[in-house]
Amino acid sequence: MKIVVIGDALVSSRTLIEAVQVMNLGEEEKEIIAYEWYSDLTKDEFQEHILDIERNGPDNVIIPKGILLDLKDADYLFCHYAPVSSEMIQVAPKLKMVGTCRGGLENVNIKILREKSIPLIHVIRNADPVADFTLGLMLAETRNIARAHCAIKNGKWEKSFSNDSYKTILTNQTVGVVGAGYIGKQLIKRLNGLNVPVLVFDPFVNQDNFRRLGLVASFVDSLEQLFKESDIVSLHMRVTPDTKHIINKDLLNLMKPSSYLINSARADLIVESDLLDILQRKGIAGAALDVNWTEPLMSDSPWLSLTNVTLTPHIAGDTIDAIPKSPFLLKDVVNEYLKTGYSDMIIK
pLDDT tens digits, 318-334: 888 778 889 998 998 89
Catalytic residue (choose from 141, 266, 281, 336): 266
- Same domain (yes/no): 117, 221: no
Residue 344, pLDDT > 70, answer: no
115-124, 142-151, 165-174, 307-316: range with lowest mean pLDDT: 115-124
The yes-or-no answer on residue 190 being catalytic is no
- Same domain (yes/no): 116, 141: no
Q: What is the count of structural domains for the chain? A: 2
Instruction: Please tell me the pTM assigned to this model.
Output: 0.74
The yes-or-no answer on residue 54 being catalytic is no
- Same domain (yes/no): 136, 237: yes
Average pLDDT over residues 277-285: 98
CATH number at residue 162: 3.40.50.720
- Same domain (yes/no): 158, 292: yes
pLDDT at position 104, please? 79
Q: What residues contact 250, with CB distance under 8 A and at least 6 apart?
A: none
CA gap 15, 5 in Å, rounded: 10
Query: For the segment 214-228, what is each residue's pLDDT rounded down to a tens digit?
Result: 999 999 999 999 999
Residue 284, pLDDT > 80, answer: yes
Q: Which helix (H) or strand (E) is 287 found in, with range?
A: strand 286-289
CA gap 318, 126 in Å, rounded: 8
102 touches 129 (CB < 8 A): no
Residue 346, pLDDT > 80, answer: no
Catalytic residue (choose from 54, 87, 314, 336): 314
CA gap 309, 288 in Å, rounded: 5
The yes-or-no answer on residue 314 being catalytic is yes
Average pLDDT over residues 129-133: 95
314 touches 291 (CB < 8 A): yes
- Same domain (yes/no): 223, 212: yes
Residue 139 lies in a domain: yes
Residue 336, pLDDT > 90, answer: no
**How large a percentage of the chain has pLDDT more than 90?**
83
**Sign of the dihedral through C-alpha 18, 20, 23, 26:** negative
Residue 50: C-alpha distances to residues 41, 43, 83, 107, 270 (Å): 12, 10, 10, 9, 20
pLDDT at position 148, please? 97
- Same domain (yes/no): 121, 139: no
- For the chain, how many residues are written? 348
- Same domain (yes/no): 96, 82: yes
Residue 316 lies in a domain: no
> Which of these, 237, 97, 107, lies nearest to 176 by C-alpha position?
237
Helix/strand/coil for 340? helix
Residue 342, pLDDT > 90, answer: no
Residue 317 lies in a domain: no
- Same domain (yes/no): 175, 187: yes
Q: What is the DSSP string of 171-204?
A: GGSPEEEE--SHHHHHHHHHHHHTT--EEEE-TT
CA gap 198, 180 in Å, rounded: 11
> Which of these, 153, 173, 171, lies nearest to 163 by C-alpha position?
173
- Same domain (yes/no): 115, 183: no
Spell out where 108-228 has E strands: 120-122, 175-178, 198-201, 218-219
Residue 1, pLDDT > 90, answer: yes
Helix/strand/coil for 34? strand
Q: Residue 328 is part of which domain span?
A: 2-125+323-347
- Same domain (yes/no): 119, 140: no
**Would you give the distance in Å from CA 67 to the centre of its chain?**
27
Edge-to-edge strands of the sheet including 286-289? 218-219, 198-201, 175-178, 232-235, 260-263, 286-289, 309-311
Average pLDDT over residues 164-188: 95
> Which of these, 105, 118, 15, lies nearest to 76 by C-alpha position?
118
pLDDT at position 140, please? 98
- Same domain (yes/no): 171, 212: yes
